[in-house]
């Protein structure tokens, strides 16, 4: 149930091209807003947070970012995902003075993270599985993307 | 060893710190260490230090904090998790 609420095929975008990390965040935020997952102010809140506390996670070959914002900007839990044909630079969460090329962006819209911690833990746990990350990055089909994520969420 | 208190710090004090806190509870239980976690935003750290034995942070925290800080993404990415647990166990046993 929790999983179905969060991962929706209509919020998965594969093999996209953007110029800057703010463009990805704006695009994914707009999708979340259009489908009434988040409030209008969500996008600015995410951009502002990303500036202060970046969310790039260095995994090695394929890197990810998990931008998010305070729960007050969210109506219902959702996650918009984009895989990037050309990686885009994000600053590192643990060392914002450094930038890394990011290949997959998971934009999280959370209402009560305690309820969704299982989902988030599974998702982030999957980050250590290089073959899984490489696989989802290579997919050009959103249905298979959702299926693949479903397999790793326990 | 008495119950230890770990303050888990991230940018907003919600998403990433929750994942890290649950993971720490699970992993340290396996090590036989009883912990209690609290979570906060990085800007709140200084007001949350009372009775805290160790800080585990996913973002940089101010340098002048009196409590030992371990900055790691291991509990988010799974990379270097065992080493991070060892470091935390050493940090807690040393106090």
Domain interval for residue A130: 2-152
pLDDT value, residue A58 = 95
CATH number at B64 reads 3.40.50.2300
pLDDT digits (tens, 9 = 90+) for B53-95: 999 999 999 989 999 999 999 998 888 999 999 999 998 987 5
In chain B, whose CA is at the least distance from the CA of A91?
B59
pLDDT value, residue A70 = 84
**Alpha helices for chain A (secondary structure H):** 2-6, 21-34, 42-52, 117-126, 130-138, 142-152
Number of domains forming the structure of chain B: 1
Number of domains forming the structure of chain A: 1
Which of A55, A98, A100, A130 to mutate: most B Cβ within 10 Å?
A55
CA dihedral B14, B16, B18, B22 (to 10 degrees): 180
pLDDT value, residue A63 = 97
pLDDT value, residue B41 = 92
pLDDT digits (tens, 9 = 90+) for B13-62: 777 898 999 999 999 999 999 999 999 999 999 999 999 999 999 999 99
CATH number at A25 reads 3.40.930.10
Cβ of B59 and A59 within 8 Å? no
Cβ of B11 and A57 within 8 Å? no
Residues of chain A with pLDDT under 50: none
Select from B20, B6, B5, B77 the least CA-distant residue to A100: B77
pLDDT value, residue A115 = 66
pTM recorded for the entire structure = 0.89
Domain interval for residue B29: 4-93
Task: Indicate if the pLDDT at residue B1 is higher than 90.
Answer: no
């Amino acid at each position: 149930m929790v999983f179905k609420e969060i991962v929706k095929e209509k919020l998965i975008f594969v093999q996209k091209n953007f110029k800057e990390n703010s463009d990805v965040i704006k695009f994914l935020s707009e999708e979340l807003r259009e489908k009434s997952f988040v409030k209008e102010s969500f996008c600015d809140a995410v951009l502002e947070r990303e500036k202060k506390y970046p969310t790039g996670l260095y995994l090695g070959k394929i890197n990810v970012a998990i931008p998010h914002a305070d729960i007050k900007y969210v109506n219902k839990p959702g996650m918009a995902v984009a895989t990037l044909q050309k990686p885009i630079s994000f600053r590192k969460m643990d060392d914002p003075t450094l930038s890394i090329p990011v290949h997959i962006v998971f934009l999280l819209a959370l209402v009560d993270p305690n309820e969704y911690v299982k989902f988030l833990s599974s998702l982030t746990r999957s980050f250590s599985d290089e073959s899984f990350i490489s696989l989802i990055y290579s997919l050009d089909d959103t249905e298979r993307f959702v299926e693949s994520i479903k397999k790793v969420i326990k | 060893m008495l119950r230890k208190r770990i303050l888990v710090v991230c940018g907003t004090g919600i998403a990433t710190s929750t994942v890290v806190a649950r993971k720490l509870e699970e992993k340290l239980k396996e090590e036989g260490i009883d912990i209690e976690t609290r979570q906060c935003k990085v800007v709140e750290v200084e007001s949350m230090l009372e009775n805290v034995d160790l800080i585990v942070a996913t973002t940089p925290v101010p340098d002048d904090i009196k409590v030992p800080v371990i900055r790691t993404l291991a509990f988010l990415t799974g990379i270097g998790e065992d080493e991070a647990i060892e470091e935390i166990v050493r940090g807690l046993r040393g106090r």
